[in-house]
Structure 1
Amino acid sequence: MNILIVGNGFDLSHYLPTKYDHFMVAMDAIENWDEWSDEINFDDIFGTLYEKEGYFFGYTKSIYKTEKIKFSSAKIENLKQKLESNVWYKYFSEHYNKLDTWIDFEQKINEALNQILRLIEIYNKSRERVSLLENLICEYKSDEFEIINLPNDLLRKLSYLGILETHDNFSCAFWGGIEPQEKWKFSKDYIISDDSDYDEGMNILDLRVNEIFKTLSDQLEDFSELFSFYLNNIVCNLKPKKKFKKIGIGVNTEIYSFNYTNILKSYYFLDNKISFLHGSLEKSNIILGVADISDKLREYKPYQFVKYAQKILKETDYKFLEESKLIQEIYDEAKYSSGYEEYYVDPQDVKIAIWGHSLDQSDSNYIKELFSLNNEKINAFITIYVHNKNAKKDMLYNLFNILGQSEVEKWMKKGWLKFEPNPDIAKLNNIEPVELPKLAEA
């Protein structure tokens, strides 16, 4: 192969616990660990997943020295404090059962930003209705009273993000003559008021929108540090019991990674240059965010949540195929000048393998660039490795969505695009799964 593109599925093919729910289950185990216990180990961290993912973790424990993964009570306590103070961790924990992939995770960030936009719009309309607003927020709606009315689902989501907190001194029933409800108020960090006595209630003079986005951005950065800790201290500390057999990556293969880990180097000892498009653990510049924001959100400039902006600010590897050394060499060789005339040689073949990338809309700019390579100078042949039939279906539908059905059909008919099963790492290395601990299964 000339070019290899890897995503999270590449790490999962090596039975590394890099799925979204692997991370959240690990953090939940740490958060709820008995403070009187001396240490926590691999089975304590992932044991609740052994029944659902016994096949996967049976191979993980067979391949890696999982007994080396353990944390002291002091480190656990430090992690607990960070988890308990992070609003994004609380927010994602509340939605844990609804999230399956890192794509779902990104969509939840986008949803949170849009919930804040809903809050701003409702707040602005309330300000137009009355001259002064109490710092009291209820689900009950009435145009007669000086309170902000938000739907119950929005109230709860904003409370998970730390924007709202419970209000103990007022009752919504006082204004509406209805059954008492939960009542909320803005966190004092996010409003400008006319009263210094926050606990007794006050009139809101303004909502500090920029402060909301800044704090949530800082908290998301803290969340990314928690994820970096997980990858560095658990995933990357899983050392193989024996060397992996080579998987056919040549010394001249260009590699582009959407992962933060570098198992190609640590497990296969490759010296190939790897471009980390979403940042890397080694450079401490990992990217966590959304592909884009709506036009309405752009009015408030929360670009710190956009991956494109993060890539520039964190100085990740930015160049992709158009700037590829291999591609540029082909372009240079394909054309030379003699006087004022230009002569062209036959196009060169470029073989591209995609292993473990979902081809989701969030990376559509890369996918479009990838499928624009075929021209008079390059014959691009793309092989997409898939985990199973469902994965193939999802990837195909993603390509339809990004490129259009006719473009995908053209690539298939011309033999430029094909799908193949993932290389079976366990089979290649003659590895069988081990039986998981009975205690962890329970």
Structure 2
Amino acid sequence: MDTKRIFVLGNGFDLAHYLPTAYVHFMDAMMVVESCEEEKQLGFDDLFQKYISGECSNRDKEFFSKTKELYKTDDLRLSIDTVNDLQEKLINNGWFQHFKHHLTDVDTWIDFENEIESLLVKMCDLFEISFDDKTIGYFSDRVQIYLPNMSNSRNLTIKHTDVLAGNYRQISQKFFDNFKLQKMFVQNTLSNFQLITDMYYKAEDIHNPNGFGVSSIQYNKILEEEFEELRERDSSYGRRVAKKSFKNVIDINFLKKYSDSYLEFEGNKVLKKY
């Protein structure tokens, strides 16, 4: 009669064999990927640099010392394309953006699951809050915006309505003030999951060949992450950017609407997306 053996691998088997598979290991590695500004491959020592360099507890130093001793860690490399792809995904991943600010609150997989449940409950409570008639809308007051390389006499005057166009509206700051001590938590959460964002304004010269050097100005809205690149190319005759932030801008596809009024967040659409 053949003897058969059953191997039961319990929770912690991977860590017991010095594999860096804990949630905190994953988050640390992904934060290195997110912050990488060079076009380069990332190896094992790059991803876990704080452990390799000893900027950690003695227990973690011993753990990674054993990892490098037992496994061919030098063979692990993320290509430039993989790093770029991961960076794009991490920027758009609300859960990663949330957890990277809560690493001290979690340790085991149970802590992570509890934090996910807690956040979902809070978001669902938020989605049930009704708006008043001033919570969502266009803001039509006119503002003066300084454009670099221009005299004060040619400062550009625009409306908020010029920027918040199409499928975008702005949430009133008073809405967040209602949460008092939780105000920043609500704003940060909605921002992490890209339900609200900051937008900036771009002015671009369009040369008029029949106007003796006079140019018309074309206006476009841009996202926050686009601003730094555009600002570096400011000039008197080329692209011009006014750094005007419009905070708490939301896509109306995430809102319930009745007639001309927005009632509340469309919770189901948000939860399906994330």
Aligned to 1:70: 77
Q: Would the aligned equivalents of 1:19 and 1:101 in 2 still touch at CA under 8 Å?
A: yes
* Runs of 4+ that moved beyond 6 A: none
2 CA distance for matches of 1:36 and 1:167? 27
Aligned to 1:54: 61
Alignment partner for residue 187 of structure 2, among 155, 177, 180? 155
Letter of the structure 2 residue corresponding to residue 204 of structure 1:
Y
* Structure with greater strand percent: 2
Where in structure 2 are the equivalents of 1:158-197 lying within 5 Å? 158-166=190-198, 184-193=248-257
Aligned to 1:41: 43
1 CA distance for matches of 2:96 and 2:248? 21
Letter of the structure 1 residue corresponding to residue 94 of structure 2:
V
1 CA distance for matches of 2:95 and 2:184? 20
2 CA distance for matches of 1:32 and 1:70? 17
Where in structure 2 are the equivalents of 1:10-409 lying within 5 Å? 10-37=13-40, 39-50=41-52, 51=54, 52=56, 53-121=60-128, 123-124=129-130, 126=131, 130=132, 133-135=135-137, 136-138=171-173, 139-141=176-178, 151-166=183-198, 184-193=248-257, 203-216=261-274
1 CA distance for matches of 2:101 and 2:253? 23
1 CA distance for matches of 2:172 and 2:28? 34
Equivalent pairs counted in the alignment come to: 187
Q: Would the aligned equivalents of 1:132 and 1:203 in 2 still touch at CA under 8 Å?
A: no
Q: Would the aligned equivalents of 2:134 and 2:172 in 1 still touch at CA under 8 Å?
A: no
Q: Deviations over 1:182-238 (max 9, x none)?
A: 95354333114479xxxxxx841453221011011xxxxxxxxxxxxxxxxxxxxxx
Q: Secondary structure at the match of 1:109?
A: helix
TM-score (norm 1): 0.38
Q: Secondary structure at the match of 1:6?
A: coil
Question: Does the C-alpha gap of structure 1 residues 68 and 92 become closer, same or farther in structure 2, counting only changes over 3 Å?
Answer: same
Aligned to 1:242: none
Question: Does the C-alpha gap of structure 1 residues 194 and 183 become closer, same or farther in structure 2, counting only changes over 3 Å?
Answer: farther
Q: Would the aligned equivalents of 2:197 and 2:249 in 1 still touch at CA under 8 Å?
A: yes
Give the Å deviation of 1:5: 4.2
Give the Å deviation of 1:137: 4.0
Q: Would the aligned equivalents of 2:135 and 2:172 in 1 still touch at CA under 8 Å?
A: no
2 CA distance for matches of 1:54 and 1:48? 9
Q: Deviations over 1:37-57 (max 9, x none)?
A: 3x2111111111232211000
Question: Does the C-alpha gap of structure 1 residues 42 and 152 become closer, same or farther in structure 2, counting only changes over 3 Å?
Answer: closer
Q: Would the aligned equivalents of 1:165 and 1:185 in 2 still touch at CA under 8 Å?
A: yes
Q: Secondary structure at the match of 2:100?
A: helix
CA RMSD for the aligned pairs? Answer: 3.3
1 CA distance for matches of 2:104 and 2:251? 28
Question: Does the C-alpha gap of structure 1 residues 18 and 113 become closer, same or farther in structure 2, counting only changes over 3 Å?
Answer: same
Give the Å deviation of 1:91: 1.5
2 CA distance for matches of 1:40 and 1:2? 40
Give the Å deviation of 1:115: 1.5
Question: Does the C-alpha gap of structure 1 residues 137 and 185 become closer, same or farther in structure 2, counting only changes over 3 Å?
Answer: farther
Structure 2, unmatched stretches of 5+, are 138-170, 202-245
Question: Does the C-alpha gap of structure 1 residues 43 and 168 become closer, same or farther in structure 2, counting only changes over 3 Å?
Answer: closer
